[in-house]
């Protein structure tokens, strides 16, 4: 794939950097949410009479979903799910069954009920963007199957919950036993690109894909993740998206082969929407007295900043990092579909020109761009000195191609100002899982965010 990538990138880089005028380390995938996991340090309170009532009423529709090796009963992953039709259709998370979806020759799916029944499952469809999947129990004539066990219904969208209402998460945490966890509905997560419900309750590993019910036993959401290193902060996929998947794919034929092309199509559509919405937002000001630095609107990103301690005697700096909190789960080796950017503005008057140049250059050289791995090629980069309205920049644009998701890439843009002996700014922009055309648009947009401040005489 790299041989195809090089001529494409080389052809486009000259015009890109010409149009643009064209210190941080590579950040890991967004870490605010951990699929299928949440902290378990705090003991959950005893369940109420409502929780017991709802569990008893819905336990026949509650399932454990297991991904097993094809040739033996060793389990590779464990999650939860729930029945959505009387014919044995089941909703769970995509990340619970992703190994089977991408490697059906190596894995198989099984279910287990609360009363000890078990059987095989087949995959009908999935929505990786929402982290949802639709399964169906296989009726092979040997096991009773899941027909006739009933189904959970979804709460109508026209009846929204009020903040603070009690809701009840169900699943099989840590493969220990089926359980119900009480919590509160706290509305949608602020600045999330796609809607996520903030659930004040503990979702532990193994509960992913399980239902979350209101007081009437209607599904309001699907367990998906919890915030790492926190207590009682978890996230749910709104039930409306699961209901849409069910309506769309209830009659779908089983997926028998590796679903890479289906996954690629979903990610391609998603990144088109993400890039389009991001490019429509003008840059904010970093309020630096010398440089205009690109800072994104915080509609679906969060920005954090810090500066040099007051007693510092060396290189003074101000740092900002902005990123999306949530990513799209592809497999255990890859998350994608997110944006991340940062900048550092330096003042090296205390160091002098020589010492400042050494540290400033070292910061730029230390950037990690990623080595070739199972999922992506190594980075192919082009570098050029460019002019942005009189501000000289050193710009490097890099792409890594996805091996099994043809047409998608990881983009990295590195920028440093080169206009002063003891002052400067470094910037980095990362976009995961974007098309080649969108990568060029994003790179140009980022470079256009650099210029002098209006107060700086050119």
**pLDDT score of 312:** 58
- Beta-carbon contacts of residue 414 (< 8 Å; ≥ 6 apart): 364, 367, 395, 396, 398, 426, 427, 428
Residue 400 gets which letter from DSSP?
Answer: E
Residues 195-209 pLDDT 10s: 999 999 888 889 999
Q: How far is CA 173 from the centre of its chain?
A: 22
Residue 92, phi-psi category: left (phi > 0), alpha (psi -120 to 50), beta (remainder): beta
Residues of the chain with CATH 2.40.10.120: 34-249
Q: pLDDT averaged over the chain?
A: 87
Residues 108-157 pLDDT 10s: 999 999 999 999 999 999 999 999 999 999 987 766 779 989 999 999 99
Residue 171, phi-psi category: left (phi > 0), alpha (psi -120 to 50), beta (remainder): left
**pLDDT score of 2:** 42
Residues 376-386 pLDDT 10s: 999 999 999 99
Give 173-198 as a DSSP string.
GGGT--EEEEEEEEEEPTT-SS--EE
Residues 169-193 pLDDT 10s: 999 998 889 999 999 999 999 999 9
CA distances from 5 to 9, 13, 32 (A): 6, 12, 32
Question: 121 or 365, which is more confident?
Answer: 121
Residues 214-240 pLDDT 10s: 999 999 999 998 766 566 789 999 999
CATH T-level fold of 34-249: Thrombin, subunit H (2.40.10)
Asked if 206 and 171 touch (Cβ cutoff 8 Å), the reply is: yes
**pLDDT score of 34:** 54
**pLDDT score of 79:** 96
Q: How far apart are CA 367 and CA 369, in angstroms?
A: 6
User: Which ranges constitute the DSSP H helices of 26-83?
Assistant: 49-58
Mean pLDDT of 423-450: 96
**pLDDT score of 311:** 55
Confidence of residue 30 (pLDDT cuts 50, 70, 90): low
Residue from 196, 171, 178, 150 nearest 96 by CA: 171
């Amino acid at each position: 794939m790299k041989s195809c990538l090089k001529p494409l990138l080389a052809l486009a880089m000259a015009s890109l950097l010409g149009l643009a005028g064209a210190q941080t380390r590579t950040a890991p995938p967004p870490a605010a949410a951990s699929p299928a996991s949440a902290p378990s340090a705090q003991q959950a309170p005893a369940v109420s009479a409502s929780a017991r009532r709802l569990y008893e009423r819905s336990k026949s529709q509650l399932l454990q979903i297991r991904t097993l090796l094809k040739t033996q009963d060793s389990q590779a992953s464990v999650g939860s799910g729930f029945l959505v039709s009387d014919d044995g259709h089941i909703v769970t998370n995509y990340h619970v069954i992703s190994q089977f979806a991408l490697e059906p020759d190596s894995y198989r799916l099984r279910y287990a009920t609360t009363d000890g029944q078990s059987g095989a499952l087949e995959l009908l469809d999935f929505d990786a963007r929402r982290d949802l999947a639709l399964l169906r129990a296989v009726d092979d004539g040997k096991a009773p199957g899941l027909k006739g066990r009933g189904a959970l219904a979804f709460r109508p969208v026209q009846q929204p919950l009020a903040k603070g209402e009690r809701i009840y998460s169900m699943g099989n945490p840590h493969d220990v036993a089926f359980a119900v966890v009480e919590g509160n509905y706290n509305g949608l997560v602020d600045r999330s690109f796609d809607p996520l419900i903030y659930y004040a309750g503990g979702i532990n590993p193994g509960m992913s894909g399980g239902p979350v019910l209101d007081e009437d036993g209607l599904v309001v959401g699907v367990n998906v993740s919890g915030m790492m290193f926190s207590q009682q902060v978890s996230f749910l996929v709104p039930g409306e998206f699961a209901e849409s998947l069910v309506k769309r794919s209830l009659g779908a034929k089983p997926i028998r082969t590796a679903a890479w092309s289906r996954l690629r199509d979903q990610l391609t559509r998603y990144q088109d929407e993400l890039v389009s919405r991001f490019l429509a937002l003008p840059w904010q000001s970093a309020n630096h007295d010398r440089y205009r630095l690109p800072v994104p609107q915080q509609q679906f990103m969060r920005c954090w900043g810090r500066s040099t301690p007051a007693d510092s005697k060396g290189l003074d700096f101000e740092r900002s990092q902005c990123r999306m909190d949530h990513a799209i789960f592809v497999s255990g080796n890859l998350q994608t579909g997110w944006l991340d950017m940062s900048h550092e503005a330096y003042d090296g008057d205390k160091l002098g020109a020589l010492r400042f140049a050494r540290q400033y250059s070292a910061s730029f050289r230390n950037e990690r761009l990623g080595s070739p791995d199972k999922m992506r090629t190594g980075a192919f980069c082009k570098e050029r000195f460019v002019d942005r309205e009189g501000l000289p920049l050193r710009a490097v644009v890099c792409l890594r191609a996805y091996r099994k998701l043809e047409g998608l890439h990881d983009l990295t843009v590195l920028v440093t100002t080169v206009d002063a002996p003891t002052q400067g700014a470094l910037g980095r922009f990362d976009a995961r899982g974007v098309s080649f055309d969108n990568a060029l648009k994003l790179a140009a947009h980022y470079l256009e965010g650099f210029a002098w401040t209006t107060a700086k005489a050119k």
